[in-house]
Structure 1
């Protein structure tokens, strides 16, 4: 257990990418339920509007940002807009990502590889770059970058996606090292197998009823937003509810 979960986030500002469905959708609802104002980012306007309706119905608030994460200048402008309107950011969750294709690495089309890296890696770097100064203005900045267990296994046919998540974890660790003397805490998350559309795409024969829901996984990830949490540069295994150091053989 990394937190007892009793904390509130009243007055906090949280940015979540990939907020229109899956883990990002559920995590946005969790943040709003604890009092945070959520900046919900996604391409799918309909999903964002449904999220907004649910957050409002529960008494929370959100700002919707329809944005394609391949539009890198738009990510830069987002940071500027947050600074102009709110002056800081308390929580950033880099959740959005795509699977690409599960195939031999030599058979992956160049355009598929390039798009996967743009969304899964380059957009995360742009997000880090634009939110870092804002998060450091918070009295308890928290950054969470979604990863995967495949980042640590050279699994056949998963090369591009695995490489993208390994890159994200290295960026998170580097950022954490560079921010040691600040109040910003940065961690990666391996959510484990979750009942999402991406999981169904990757494992079409799997029974989704055997997997935890996005809401169940989000209820664990939210613990990394605890203002009292003094852990950085770690990997959170949501299935085991365990923080791992990168030199931890387990």
Structure 2
């Protein structure tokens, strides 16, 4: 590959948590398409190997690591292995997350509440904690938290999920202030409704609960977006690409909303 055809992120190493499907998969593929070595992580090896295979078939570089973001020892092991192999960790995308029960706050058990926080908040903390020292050794880097529009505005469902996404937003802003001196930029991305298994399952659950046809619910959700549709995982991936690229060298502590205009109403 000559200089003229190199990608925007050529030679950089990116760890993307929860990247065996959905938004994380799209991020891993888009970043690899721009030259990163995409470290695909998750708990399902078959799905991870599929993503890696597709990236390699498209001419990109990737490898899979099993990773449960709530397991501090495993997080440390994966980040250490990546650094020892490649000598750098340039990008961390904290994407791994779960939705949790969609019910009122007073109906949650403590165990249900803490499980959502364990994955979405503590998991992101552990990954950042483990990665930042390697970024400092390398002279800088980029961290992106995949939050949600519901880390900014409220709604009537999924209270634990929304609280964790608000936490991700502030984690990014705090990290931006702490690590600017180390040339580490930290930002958050706030997807609206993106067609992923999480959104599909949410609509299926609503369909069963309300007795409304799934397709009717989907059309109703699409109508709430001024742009006229639900988003696609690639819509988020290209936002992440911008934030971790040199074009965004003056961008840190910001929140990038990608929601088809949903929150503009």
Q: Do the structures match in fold with TM over 0.5?
A: yes
Verify the 8 A CA contact 1:93 1:143 in the aligned structure 2.
Answer: yes
Q: CA separation in 1, counterparts of 2:42 and 2:81?
A: 16
Alignment map for 1:36-47 (pairs within 5 Å): 36-47=36-47
Verify the 8 A CA contact 1:221 1:238 in the aligned structure 2.
Answer: no
Q: CA separation in 1, counterparts of 2:235 and 2:122?
A: 29
Alignment map for 1:131-170 (pairs within 5 Å): 131-139=131-139, 141-170=141-170
Verify the 8 A CA contact 1:185 1:231 in the aligned structure 2.
Answer: yes
Verify the 8 A CA contact 1:40 1:65 in the aligned structure 2.
Answer: yes
Alignment TM-score, normalising by the size of structure 1: 0.88
Q: CA separation in 2, counterparts of 1:182 and 1:139?
A: 7
Deviation at 1:68, TM superposition (A): 1.9
Verify the 8 A CA contact 2:69 2:126 in the aligned structure 1.
Answer: no
1:207 aligns with 2:218: yes
Verify the 8 A CA contact 2:20 2:42 in the aligned structure 1.
Answer: yes
The count of corresponding residues between Structure 1 and Structure 2 is 238
Deviation at 1:158, TM superposition (A): 2.4
Structure 1 unmatched runs, 5+: 1-5, 242-248
Alignment map for 1:20-99 (pairs within 5 Å): 20-99=20-99
The 3-state SS of whatever aligns with 1:178 is helix
Alignment TM-score, normalising by the size of structure 2: 0.83
Q: CA separation in 1, counterparts of 2:146 and 2:38?
A: 18
Deviation at 1:213, TM superposition (A): 1.6
Q: CA separation in 1, counterparts of 2:7 and 2:190?
A: 22
Q: CA separation in 1, counterparts of 2:235 and 2:175?
A: 28
Q: CA separation in 1, counterparts of 2:53 and 2:152?
A: 38
Deviation at 1:49, TM superposition (A): 1.2
Verify the 8 A CA contact 1:187 1:234 in the aligned structure 2.
Answer: yes
1:223 aligns with 2:242: yes
Verify the 8 A CA contact 1:140 1:227 in the aligned structure 2.
Answer: no
Alignment map for 1:93-112 (pairs within 5 Å): 93-112=93-112
CA RMSD of aligned residues (A): 2.2
Deviation at 1:140, TM superposition (A): 5.1
The 3-state SS of whatever aligns with 1:207 is helix
Deviation at 1:7, TM superposition (A): 5.6
1:3 equivalent in structure 2: none
- After the TM superposition, list the runs of 4 or more consecutive aligned residues in structure 1 that deviate by more than 6 angstroms: none
Structure 2 unmatched runs, 5+: 1-5, 205-213, 223-228
Q: CA separation in 2, counterparts of 1:129 and 1:220?
A: 24
Larger Rg: 2
Which residue, 206, 230, 233 being the options, matches 2:253?
A: 233
